Structure 1
Amino acid sequence: MLEAFIFDMDGVIIDSEPLHFEVDLDTMKYYGAEITQKELEKYVGMTNPEMWGLIKQDYSLSHSVEDILRYQLESKIKALRAAPMEPIQGIKNFIEEMKQLKIPVGIASSSPPEFIKEVLLKFGIAEEFRCVVSGEEVAKGKPAPDVYLKAAELLGAEPGRCLVLEDSAHGIAAAKAAGMKCIGYINANSGNQDLSRADLIVSRIQDIPCTRAYEHIYGLSLI
């Protein structure tokens, strides 16, 4: 039985990866280093502290990770508030479908709690989710399973009875490591992501099969 549906956020609920890439490129320049978007793509799905820890080491940045994170977060929230963005097409209808079926939904995102809150307030959907978990609130971020296991715990669901929507290789790896079924959403703005480990891959939210097909595809019934 399907007990819960868990959403990633960036690239799934909000098409925010272009914003992230732009701010991250600017952040690197601000701290006196250069990086390409293609090089940044391998970090998609990771938490910011983990990402910048690796970048600081690889690019020999002199400033602390804490300083970099502070500048990056302030820049991203400012950019988000100024951007005329809407939820990814089909997401609101899909969340409503889950509500009609009385299937609890949650968010398990690698973004910091402050950024998640800003996105949900911007779209007016904060009340739709029974739980919201940031990868920065658990021991290890994606591709470790911690954030998804925590979301399942808060939703009162068995991990093996949860279904996840993800757009990144790290995110899918995290969902699978948690023992969950996972839908891979192809978002061109998320870069060249390997979604091959997903149980199903779609290019539009509207292409996620109707609920009657869940048992056949995922082995999860609704009753």
Structure 2
Amino acid sequence: MIKCVLFDMDGVIVNTEPIGYKANQDMYKALGIIVPDSVYNTFVGNSDKNIVAKLKDLYEISLTHEELLEKQYEYYFKAFDTSDDVELLPGVKDLIIDLHSSGIKLIVASSASNAKIEKVFTRFGLHSYFDAKLSGEDFEFSKPNPAIYIEAANQSGFTKEECIVIEDSTNGIKAAKAAGIYCIGYESGLSIPQDTSEADIVITDFDQLNSNKIKGLPRTVII
């Protein structure tokens, strides 16, 4: 029986990708670089520090790694704090409440920084539902490396077979599967299109899930 759900955050719990895209494009313009969507899309699911490292590898940027990371946070937090467009994904809070009420442990394992996770959880009142919050900035390698999901499963206190992951990105799904954990791919239609073909099942609406269905995975049929 499933006893713990490991949530990605961006694109699963909250739709921050539009403001993240705008903030990053504004920063790229200020830096005098052009990052085409074909390159930008490969960043989805990566931690901020690894995205910065990739930018430094691809472009001539005079800022140090630390300075560029701070610049990225500056643009992102300004966009987050001033935007009314940041919203939870439809149905996700109802699912979170249902899972929590049924005794299923919840852990977020996000490539976002700790500061970004805290802002989202505070803004939408999510702290009380989650037992742990893991940030990609605390791991050397980003998704698709499985380290963050291996650690999340360890912190759950349950076996990998008693955990599932909900992910929306190609890199995140690859990380979950490499960690040996059952993965639900989520396609909201609101985020940058991703390849979810490696997920065990794919949903397009959180109404397709509830605590009873999740507890019965992988035997449960999700329609």
What TM-score comes out, normalization by structure 1 length?
A: 0.92
Q: Equivalents in 1 of 2:89, 2:214: separation in Å?
A: 23
Larger CA deviation: 203-212 vs 61-70: 203-212
Gap runs ≥5 in structure 1:
none
Q: Which residue of 2 aligns with 1:109?
A: 110
Q: Equivalents in 2 of 1:179, 1:14: separation in Å?
A: 25
Q: Which residue of 1 aligns with 2:168?
A: 167
Q: Please state if 1:179 is matched with 2:196.
A: no
Gap runs ≥5 in structure 2:
none
Q: Residues 188-213 of structure 1: CA distance to partner in whole angstroms, max 9, x if unpaired? A: 33312100000111111112366247
CA shift for structure 1 position 104: 0.4
Q: Please state if 1:32 is matched with 2:32.
A: yes
- CA pair 48-128 structure 1, distance change in 2 beyond 3 A: same
Contact 1:10 1:109 in 2 (8 A): yes
Contact 2:24 2:75 in 1 (8 A): no
What SS is found at the alignment partner of 1:188? Answer: coil
Q: Equivalents in 2 of 1:204, 1:92: separation in Å?
A: 12
What SS is found at the alignment partner of 1:46? Answer: coil
CA shift for structure 1 position 12: 0.6
What SS is found at the alignment partner of 2:153? Answer: helix
Q: Which residue of 1 aligns with 2:88?
A: 87
Alignment root-mean-square deviation, CA? 1.7
What TM-score comes out, normalization by structure 2 length?
A: 0.92
Quick one: percent identity of the two aligned structures? 32
Q: Please state if 1:218 is matched with 2:218.
A: yes
Q: Which residue type is aligned with residue 130 of structure 1?
A: D
- Name the count of aligned residue pairs: 219
Contact 1:183 1:202 in 2 (8 A): yes
CA shift for structure 1 position 35: 1.4
CA shift for structure 1 position 140: 1.9
Q: Which residue type is aligned with residue 107 of structure 1?
A: V
Q: Residues 99-141 of structure 1: CA distance to partner in whole angstroms, max 9, x if unpaired? A: 1220100100000000110000010111110000001112322
Contact 1:165 1:185 in 2 (8 A): yes
Q: Residues 148-177 of structure 1: CA distance to partner in whole angstroms, max 9, x if unpaired? A: 111112221212221111110000011111
Q: Which residue type is aligned with residue 21 of structure 2?
A: F
Q: Which residue of 2 aligns with 1:132?
A: 133
- CA pair 210-95 structure 1, distance change in 2 beyond 3 A: closer
Q: Equivalents in 2 of 1:30, 1:117: separation in Å?
A: 27
Question: What stretches of structure 1 move > 6 A for 4+ residues in a row?
Answer: none
